[in-house]
Structure 1
Amino acid sequence: MRAFFNLAVAVATAFVAQTIAAPIVATPGSKMDLVITDKNTLNSTHIPVIKSGQRVQSNALKISLVNNFGGGKLNVYVSGKDTNGANIMLSANGSWYYPDPAGSKVPVAVKGNVALPMKAKGQTTEFTLPDYISSGRIWIAEGNLQFFAVVDGNGQVQLVEPSAANPSDPSAAVNWGFVELTNTEKGGIYANISFVDFVGLVMGMTLKLGSGETQTVKGLQGNAISSICSDLKTQAAADGQPWDKLCITDSKGKPLRVLAPNLYLSIDPTAMSTYYNDYINKVWTKYTSQDLTINTQAAAGNVTCRASGNKMSCKGDNRAYPKPTMIDIWGCNSGPFGIQDGDNDVHRAVVPRLCAAFFRSTLLLDGGNLQPGLGQDKYYTTSPTSHYGRIVHKYETDNKGYAFSYDDVNPDGQNSAGVVAGLNPNTLQLAVGGFTS
């Protein structure tokens, strides 16, 4: 497995050298071009007792897909983990399929019948998930996606999913997207439209609960990918930053997907490396002489914070926050925003709210000394900021959908996150290609 990972690193390094100065074009390769990271793998420590083809009907959830897409033939794939933590995909006969690399440390293509064809435009396709699922994704693809299974160096089975960031991935030239899904016995369903890593094939969703309640997230406009790429190109021309490089095209120049900045940095770690430096220093200067108040929106109430030297400390917090870097701000999971075992409730509440304030650039605005306090109309209104987040939200039909991992941080009564959730779900319906009105 080590040799395979070394090959992946070599491929990624060569890719960086040839693309930093040029638009990224999808040029799909073979399994030897896979780049395996935590962004495109599911790990399983459990060897399933249930055999593929055996039905388990303990909790049926209906998935309904309305085809509003104006392109080619669509296929559906479902991946995730079963109740025992084993990697699964949904097979055409309605049962779980367990990808098995048979001990191979080199990726083995998933050969099961896991591509579920969708009906033509204007028609609805329905199927049922046979049981609970966690870490799930419902993939929609204009064409065929390729999945692989492999045993890693720790003896764990990994499901290798298509990678949005690797233009040599075997599925790179396919137009695809997904909805994230977890449905458990105790927690019920949680599904979201996520643009944390990239924007792909447009979808919206509606959840119907057993109680009769209906929740809807409309997602992006149907032509959003081209529009987002156009706006990013305009932004790049305005400030000289490589926003236009976030777009991946096919060989004919047609936009396929848009990478989030945190994912693009895995390709070119030096891009925009000093972009936030002045802003971070100004934040530190401001909150050295006055309080930054974090509304934890929980039992801790309002927590006051002050900067001193290179760290910011908050009352009741178990540890301080060093100055963030640009990578920390866009990823929200490293440096000061990395949550550790043992962190107390105050720290776990401050991290998402502090990172959201940096990501949306609201800390220096009037009223920015209370987070979250300013409404959505104040997000991304000053530079530097995440113009990816700004532009993605611009083309959301109802301004809902995660543009970063803590987009669910908002003042009470507001919601920027594209989430549907509840107990006893009945049907999750996806509008593929977006809502028609």
Structure 2
Amino acid sequence: MSTLDDVLSRQKTDNVLYPPTIKGRTTETLKIGSATESNLTVGLFNSTASSNVYAYITGLAISNDNCLFLLQADGQTPYYPTSPQSNGSALSSDCAIALGAPGTTRNVTIPYIAGGRIWFCVENKLTFLLNSSPAGPGLVEPSASNTADPNYHLSWDFCEFTYNSTQLYANITYVDFVSLPISLTLTSTSGNTSHVGGLPSNGLETICNDLKAQNAIDNAGWDKLVITNSGTNLRALSPSNGIIFDPNLFSTYWNEYIDTVWNKYISTPLVIDTQFTWSLTTGYTSNDRTLLSFSGIGSFPKPSSTDIFGANSGAFAPQASNTDQLLNIGARLDAAFNRSTLLINADQPTKEVVNTYYTNAVTNHYARIVHAANVDGRGYCFPYDDVTPEGGVDQSGFVNDGSPASFLVCVGGANAYAKREVEVQKIQDTGLMKRNVSWDESGEILDLDVGEKRDLEKGEHLKLLSEAGPSTSRTFKLPPFIERLIGPQLAVSSTVYMNLITVNTAQKLQSSPFHTERLLPVLELVTRFLASVVSLSIRTIISRVFIVVFFLLFYFLGLLPHGGGGESQRRIMESVVTGSANGTVVI
């Protein structure tokens, strides 16, 4: 018997997506009170230099009993495979969605999907196969750790998403490897926009070069994570996948650091905020220095490198008792190990600060390098990269909204920009559900402000950041049916086209003779005038206005000279009386 959590976990380890045997109440709960539309338009933007880019959309159809789903090549028709007669059978429908030429968007429509992925492949089509199972057909997905996979030597990547009656949640992921740059832009029906910038177009080259440079420093084997094809960088593997190819890779890398951590917490309490109903819990190293123990809950042995990088084995595997609570504590321990902050912060993750991550010589340099290469520093680099202190800055690279209007997924790097004009919103102190370890794809209608579940890498957790994205509301509101038709194009124009066109136009204008000979002098004159006006005090402005009004009044009363005989000037002099006390002139 398998739940949705079980099959999604197996997908990450075996690269096969099976439907669950335990279906739950998904179908009936989706019929009532949905906060989202049953279908969503997704824009697939090609910002590569190739006209041969293909996309695939896969997952489990929530509204169809969580059966296997693929979107056909027309971008509109669902494909529900039937169980094959033998494992490794080919798909019976064409599911390669051809993107347009560079700079164009292909719009597709998706239903409610759990465990969804959007795959991209440049210059080639991907191979997906079918296996049989008691619950229905399973999808054999491309693998970056199997050299026999027909997709191994191709340039491909994917992002993850879940779309249900509660929300759309999506993230870019580097947990397995890095290859193609992917960015996400989500616009809500209220006009709010969330954006994850991803990698620039040369991001993979930067990461591969930095991994080699790090290996030149510590000779730990980081260069073995770089995979090439005919001398060209194809992908950069995560340490977990690197260990699959070479089990001895990083085998002793963490030993000294772990021993130092265990020694520190012999007398120093390690306080873990579970960010859930268990609240704070305190751990100490056992007397024999073999375990990190949390009284009345359980303990953790010293983890191996595989445990730290993969987060699902050995020290961080599920335990027989207090399973959820220990997995929760283990998630925070694992994040602190990868970020190498356990020696500088005994309050995890409460006092964590992003600029202290990866500062120890022994750290997850893959995560450090990949985060640094992303334009906004965000993206899942290890399974618990979403662990964040309350009020902290998200590292996992997600977008989500309870009322999505359009969703733009860009491949190639041209849409890799950071929303620097928007500050990350902080977590509220009240009314939030804390992190747990079991991701629930049931689609049950929940209160978005209290109990949202949306971690695609490792389970259910609290709203790490405020769900309300930065406000970029339009000045007018389109009718709903028009919004659905052209919403994705609006998203593209506001994020990609305008971004590119504005830059090109500005560069051409600045290099033209008109700009240098005519426009610049006018702009300088206007700037000086505005600066002089702004620099004046209110009292000065009022006094000068009064003087102008004073002279205009005298002019129209005939008291100022406007004739040849000077009669007006004489009338002024005759009407002046000089005050004897202080020399004030009185008219």
Aligned to 2:104: 123
Question: Identity across aligned pairs (percent)?
Answer: 39
Structure 1 residue 137 corresponds to structure 2 residue 99: no
Aligned to 2:38: 59
Aligned to 2:372: 394
User: Cα distance, 1:155 vs. partner?
Assistant: 7.4
For 1:116 and 1:305, how far apart are their aligned partners in 2?
52
In structure 1, which of residues 110, 127, 130 is the aligned counterpart of residue 91 of structure 2? 110
Aligned to 1:9: none
TM-score of the aligned structures, taking structure 1 as reference length = 0.83
Contact 1:108 1:149 in 2 (8 A): yes
In structure 2, which of residues 328, 342, 346 is the aligned counterpart of residue 363 of structure 1? 342
Structure 2 letter corresponding to 1:166:
N
Structure 1 residue 162 corresponds to structure 2 residue 135: no
In structure 2, which of residues 168, 178, 189 is the aligned counterpart of residue 189 of structure 1? 168
Contact 1:242 1:271 in 2 (8 A): yes
For 2:281 and 2:216, how far apart are their aligned partners in 1?
40
User: Cα distance, 1:341 vs. partner?
Assistant: 7.1
Structure 1 residue 412 corresponds to structure 2 residue 416: no
User: Cα distance, 1:97 vs. partner?
Assistant: 0.8
Deviations 1:148-204 (A, max 9, x none): 00225x67532101101123310122211111011112x322111010111121110
Flag the structure with larger Rg.
2
For 1:156 and 1:270, how far apart are their aligned partners in 2?
38
Structure 1 residue 97 corresponds to structure 2 residue 79: yes
Aligned to 2:411: 432
Structure 1 residue 314 corresponds to structure 2 residue 294: yes
Structure 2 letter corresponding to 1:180:
E
Aligned to 1:275: 253
Deviations 1:261-295 (A, max 9, x none): 01111121111211111111111111011101112
Contact 1:47 1:86 in 2 (8 A): no
User: Cα distance, 1:316 vs. partner?
Assistant: 5.4
Aligned to 1:200: 179
Higher relative contact order (CA 8 A, sep 6+): 1
Structure 1 letter corresponding to 2:244:
S
For 1:135 and 1:417, how far apart are their aligned partners in 2?
17
Note the 1:148-297 alignment, pairs <5 A: 148-151=129-132, 157-185=137-165, 187-250=166-229, 252-297=230-275
For 2:224 and 2:100, how far apart are their aligned partners in 1?
34
What is the number of residues matched between the two proteins?
Answer: 387
Stretches of 4+ aligned residues off by more than 6 angstroms:
none
For 2:320 and 2:73, how far apart are their aligned partners in 1?
41
Aligned to 2:306: 327
Q: Matched residue of 1:288: which SS?
A: coil
Q: Matched residue of 1:222: which SS?
A: coil
Segments of 5+ residues of structure 1 without an aligned counterpart are 1-35, 49-56
Structure 2 letter corresponding to 1:199:
V
More helix by share: 2
For 2:267 and 2:320, how far apart are their aligned partners in 1?
31
For 1:254 and 1:101, how far apart are their aligned partners in 2?
39
User: Cα distance, 1:72 vs. partner?
Assistant: 4.9
Deviations 1:205-238 (A, max 9, x none): 0112234322111111221111111111111121
User: Cα distance, 1:382 vs. partner?
Assistant: 0.9
User: Cα distance, 1:45 vs. partner?
Assistant: 5.1
Aligned to 2:400: 421
For 2:40 and 2:322, how far apart are their aligned partners in 1?
36
User: Cα distance, 1:425 vs. partner?
Assistant: 2.1
Q: Would the alpha carbon gap of residues 302 and 267 (structure 1) be closer, same or farther in structure 2, given more than 3 Å must change?
A: same
Contact 1:89 1:97 in 2 (8 A): yes
User: Cα distance, 1:344 vs. partner?
Assistant: 5.8
Aligned to 1:87: 68
Q: Matched residue of 1:320: which SS?
A: strand
User: Cα distance, 1:314 vs. partner?
Assistant: 2.1
Deviations 1:3-50 (A, max 9, x none): xxxxxxxxxxxxxxxxxxxxxxxxxxxxxxxxx9834110125799xx
User: Cα distance, 1:64 vs. partner?
Assistant: 0.6
Contact 2:73 2:98 in 1 (8 A): no
Q: Matched residue of 2:244: which SS?
A: coil
